[in-house]
Structure 1
Amino acid sequence: MNVSFFRRIRKVYQFFVDKPFKKGTVLNEQYEVLNVIGAGSYGIVYLCEDTKTNKTIVVKQLRPSKRRNKQEVAMFENEISVLRMVNHKNLPRLFDAFSTNGQFFYVMSFIEGDNLEEQIFFHKKTFNEEESLLVLTHLLELVEYLHEKDIYHQDLRIPNILLKDKELFLIDFGLAKHETAVDPFHPSPNKQKNIQELKQQDYYDLGEIILYLLYTTYSSKNKKALPWTEELSLEKETVNLLKRLLQIKEPYLNSSEISIDLHAALIANKK
């Protein structure tokens, strides 16, 4: 039997096993399901009402088809442990975690707003060079906050960034890594290298996000696709910033280096 056969079997199994809870279902005798607001590869996300506080919250469930997979359960528990460590108004706040009948859940704050993907594709929102750099300013602050806590998001993408009243919120910590900082008294070259790679992956993702935003104002005049350095008309400071974020030039080692070049790019855009 080939691989595609087993994939089809798995999808049929998931179709029957991973049915979301219906509206009105009360989870853990407290959280009433209002509707499903998202479904990823390993989680189902519900908008719920906390019947004890009458507040709107979000409950994330590990897909039932994943609950016997130790690796998937470990990832879900890792996401919970990461959220326990963060306390920032622009990040989700963890309220509760529980399991019932072998099912795994956690409860977090509800952040109202459309993600950047919805803003761009459904609301036709565009970002000029300065606006894109300002988005980077806000995102860099959040990434720096996480890195100071030895947390590396590893999934910085436009669907995971919410925009409400010109304020940005970062969500979805399913792939986040928590790596304790290197002990200065017992330095480990391998650990230091691993942490630097995690940092630079987040920086690379920031570069891809900003490049994506810059293309929202681009209209192609050439039938042949060209490199972004030729298609986009950007200040040289912005080009330098992007090249280093995307590791075309010497990669950034820390957020302070990014901040310096970002500040220079913003000044160049105000001239």
Structure 2
Amino acid sequence: MKRIYSKLIEVSEKPLKTAELIGGKYIVVNLLGKGSYGYTYLVNDQQENLLVLKQLRKYKMLEESGRNSFKREANILKTLNCSAFPTFYEHFEENNKQFIVMEHKKGSTFEEIIFRENISYTESSAFNELYHILHLVKYIHELGFIHRDLRIPNILKNDKEYFIIDFGLARKLEDQTSLIEKKVNHLEKQLYREIAFKSDFYALGHFLLFLLYSSFEPISKKKRSWEEELQLTPIAKKVLRKMLQLDEPYAEVQLLINDVKECI
């Protein structure tokens, strides 16, 4: 019964409206995105600064794990004292709704770079992008966090600057896997969500494949694996296989950085 009630709340919930005033000082500009845990909005504050407002979904507020996850994200953002990640501003509750306010990072996703700007990546240039991103991941890992959601929408580039956003699924390395996460039986999702450094490398392996396929020209309609389709050097293939956990995965980020440097 509780699950049915939660599902009804989930499907009936509506996001905030444009121009709605939140917290007495934030005006909603538009909805940026919607996920299983929250809505994300672009907002203006009283000084006309563009910020990001994240709202915890109502049905997630019914669950202790959902409320804890939202608080955890706020605490992680407070810890990240680096311009490559959104600055935390405040965490508050209003009308039984929880919100986090953070810096708006201006940049393009690599999907936008490839398809809107018509950029394609060679093996060397793709690994060069990964090299820069891995230094941000190193900062996160050295603080004892795993991001666990290093997908294309959460990695931004603005000229020569790189940003990682959305720490909603991030965990401390010593965190115990929740009961909900233990129920995940899809292998690929387990590899993305495991509370281990290698889960971030796995996600970045798929990110790297996305870049490499930007310059791929198919010569056959026959479905083949990336190892058959992409013409890669032996070291590049070795790195990808380790990132994707097809071979013994990297134990820590510096080892991966060292190998990626050889591919540039």
The alignment's TM-score, normalised by the length of structure 2, stands at: 0.85
Deviation at 1:249, TM superposition (A): 2.3
Residue 86 of structure 2 aligns with an amino acid whose one-letter code is: P
Q: Does residue 1:223 correspond to 2:221, yes or no? A: yes
Residue 37 (structure 1) aligns with:
32
Residue 256 (structure 1) aligns with:
254
Query: Aligned match of 1:135 in 129, 132, 151?
Result: 129
Deviates more, 1:233-242 or 1:111-120: 111-120
Counterpart secondary structure, 2:41: strand
Deviation at 1:123, TM superposition (A): 4.3
Counterpart secondary structure, 1:241: helix
Residue 191 (structure 1) aligns with:
none
- Report matched runs for 1:10-21 at 5 Å: 13-16=9-12, 18-21=13-16
Query: Aligned match of 2:87 in 93, 96, 101?
Result: 93
Partner Cα distance (1:229, 1:20) in 2: 43
Partner Cα distance (1:265, 1:122) in 2: 26
Deviations 1:47-88 (A, max 9, x none): 11111x331111100012322222211111111111111011
Residue 178 (structure 1) aligns with:
172
Counterpart secondary structure, 1:252: coil
Deviates more, 1:104-113 or 1:159-168: 159-168
Residue 192 (structure 1) aligns with:
none
Q: Which has the higher contact order (CA 8 A, sep 6+)?
A: 2
- Report matched runs for 1:235-246 at 5 Å: 235-246=233-244
Gaps in structure 1 of 5+ consecutive residues: 182-195, 267-271
- Report matched runs for 1:1-271 at 5 Å: 6=4, 13-16=9-12, 18-51=13-46, 53-179=47-173, 198-266=196-264
Partner Cα distance (1:56, 1:22) in 2: 17
Counterpart secondary structure, 2:205: helix
Q: Which has the larger radius of gyration?
A: 1
Partner Cα distance (1:131, 1:122) in 2: 18
Rate the CA distance shift 1:164–1:249 in 2: closer, same or farther, 3 A: same
Residue 189 (structure 1) aligns with:
none
Partner Cα distance (2:155, 2:81) in 1: 17
Partner Cα distance (1:87, 1:42) in 2: 24
Partner Cα distance (2:234, 2:41) in 1: 45
Contact 1:91 1:171 in 2 (8 A): yes
Partner Cα distance (1:139, 1:243) in 2: 19
Deviation at 1:198, TM superposition (A): 0.7
Partner Cα distance (1:95, 1:214) in 2: 37
Residue 14 of structure 1 aligns with an amino acid whose one-letter code is: E
Identity of aligned residues (%): 36
Deviations 1:196-253 (A, max 9, x none): 9611111111111101210111121122222222211112221121122122222211
Deviation at 1:106, TM superposition (A): 0.6
Partner Cα distance (1:43, 1:123) in 2: 30
Deviation at 1:170, TM superposition (A): 0.8
Partner Cα distance (1:129, 1:37) in 2: 32
Contact 2:29 2:41 in 1 (8 A): yes
Partner Cα distance (1:230, 1:205) in 2: 21
Deviations 1:100-135 (A, max 9, x none): 121100100011122223333444432221121111
Residue 230 of structure 2 aligns with an amino acid whose one-letter code is: L
Rate the CA distance shift 1:223–1:24 in 2: closer, same or farther, 3 A: closer
Contact 2:7 2:59 in 1 (8 A): no
Partner Cα distance (1:257, 1:14) in 2: 42
Contact 1:140 1:255 in 2 (8 A): yes
Residue 193 (structure 1) aligns with:
none
